[in-house]
Amino acid sequence: MKKTGSICRWAAGILLLLMGMTLCASSVRAGVLCLLAGVLTLPIVWKKLREVVRYPRWVAAVVPLVFFFSAMAAVPPTEASSGGTSPTALTDSAKTENMRLTAADSVLQEETPEDLVTPTPDPVNTAAPVPKESTPAGEMTVHFLDVGQGLSIFVQSGGETLIYDGGDRETSSFVVAYLKEQGVTSIDYLISSHYDSDHVAGLIGCLNAFDVKNVISSDYVHDSQTYQSFVDTVEKQGLTMQHPAVGTAFTFGDGSFTILAPAEIDADDSNNNSVAIRLVNGENSFLFTGDAESSSEAQMCRLDMDLSCDVLVPGHHGSATATSWEFLQATVPEYAVISCGSENSYGHPDKDTMDKLEAMEIQVYRTDKQGTIVATSDGTTIQWSQEPCNDYTPGDPEDTGTQAGSEALAAGSGTNAQAAGNGSQSGTQAAGNGTPAQTAGNDAQTSSETGAAESAGQSGGTQPSAEQPAVSEPSDASAGGANTVVEATPAAEEQVWVSATGSKYHKIPDCGNMNPDKARQMTRSQAEDKGLEPCKKCY
């Protein structure tokens, strides 16, 4: 009888030792306690102890149990922290349940936190922001395809694929071939920004060549054969076009993306109906706005969404009708990737856009100069397939831009302060026209002019600048002494610094833990208009 008890204790002791070792991998405290429980279960330990000190028999039974239960009690918090569930979510019964778990069970549980795996949600209804940014990100590869005068971006992450626009008809087979080269057989998200041929035509080829799971597109009808063909192909594949509302977030691979536009449909300018997205991988983010013009950009800014990004694809192939100062200041990109065809008939990218990018010291990639460009994000840093070309020359060499004095400012090695100065100068220019306009208003004005020039079949940007010498000249003259102009207007107001996402404005660009690289400058009244408050630290 005594012998059987001894064998049982040996067996239990060894089992506990094994369990302790397994537990060590997930929780050192639980593991050590379990190992102690194991050691103290072995009859030999008590035999040796008895030679040294006398103790009541029950001690030999109780002590290992105490260690065992403390070990088990140490397990739940570990699971909670690694699994992400709040410790308070564990009820008492769950705790006792946990105590009964063997070590192997608990390890298995950590590997499959089933309560956290949400059943693949219907993407249309996932309106809540996806809390993916806090989890360690995997790799996300973003390919900016050289589709000439058009746009096509292909993204891979965690085994999922996304294509944002497919370029025009002529490059459709290139896009399909490129994706096949990447081993693509299915596309999880096929996003059509809008139905202009240089964006949607190539998507038809993709719909035919790959197993497409979701089609996201803009909710308007375009009177063109390409549009009809796209709609027919989507239908033929048994798919429906989804038009998710602004703010809708989707999980994608190891990251996510959020719909930023269009908040409303513009009956007159289909470019403004572009579906814009912010693609996130860990701390890295990319912003694609299709051909959205500055009025859509202004709408995105108004909606108070997080527009900050590392990489921006300037809207409408770098046209002056997009990439407003307001939008640049809300997005604060480090890199801009311009997708346009070399020597395209529109003169894209426009000088105005390039001047702004240069003034803000945004690194530039261009598909017209560099072909296909690939960016790989590991969640914290972005690696590029090549160096930025930082070629800020416009597509049309004769394009002198509409922003008076920007050349002089840009030449003087632009800083953020100059970027803001540049912006306020545009404002001054507008004021000179009799409009007490803010930067955004001025951009809207520029855009309508340039837009008119473009639709009239003129090479973009040349026309307005030719029409505007009367306006440009005085500002040009003042370019050297921009201060005098600024001082003469009420806009000569105090400049403040604003972080990419903060709710305060600061006296200095590096207040607290603010990132000076992402800080932007604006006037104090602009900051106050945005509802920002003075920082208590520096004001």
Contact positions vs Zn ion (CB under 5 A): 196, 198, 271, 291
For residues 335-346, one letter each, b for 16 or more C-beta atoms within 10 angstroms of the residue's C-beta and e for the rest, the string is: bbbbbbbeebeb
Nearer to Zn ion, 184 or 200 (CB): 200
Strands 495-498 and 504-506, bridge-based pairing: antiparallel
**Closer residue to Zn ion in complex, CB, 202/379:** 202
Q: Could you tell me if 173 and 202 are in contact, meaning their C-beta atoms sit under 8 angstroms apart? A: no
- Report the residue number, 184 or 292, with the smaller CB distance to Zn ion: 292
Residue of 452, 451, 323, 467 lying closest to 400 (CA atoms): 467
CB of 415 or CB of 458, closer to Zn ion: 458
* 279 contacts 142 by C-beta, under 8 angstroms: yes
266 burial (CB, 10 Å; 0-12 / 13-18 / 19+) is middle
CB of 313 to Zn ion, least distance (A): 11
The least CB distance from residue 539 to Zn ion, in Å, is 44
Shortest approach of Zn ion to residue 151 CB, angstroms? 6
Helix (H) / strand (E) element for 313: namely strand 311-313
In 128-205, DSSP assigns E strands to 140-144, 152-157, 160-166, 186-191
Cβ proximity to Zn ion: between 196 and 368 the closer is: 196
Residue 418: CB minimum distance to Zn ion, A: 30
CB 276 within 8 A of CB 261: yes
Query: For residues 25 and 22, what is the distance between their CA atoms, to the nearest angstrom?
Result: 6
Distance CA 265, CA 127 (A): 20
Min dist CB 199 to Zn ion, Å, is: 5
Q: Which is nearer to Zn ion, 6 or 224 (CB)?
A: 224
Least distance CB 194 / Zn ion (angstroms): 6
User: Residue 187 or residue 292: which is nearer to Zn ion going by CB?
Assistant: 292
Q: Which residue has the tokens 């012998």?
A: 3
Strands (E), 243-320: 249-252, 255-261, 276-281, 284-288, 311-313
Least distance to Zn ion, CB of residue 535, Å: 41
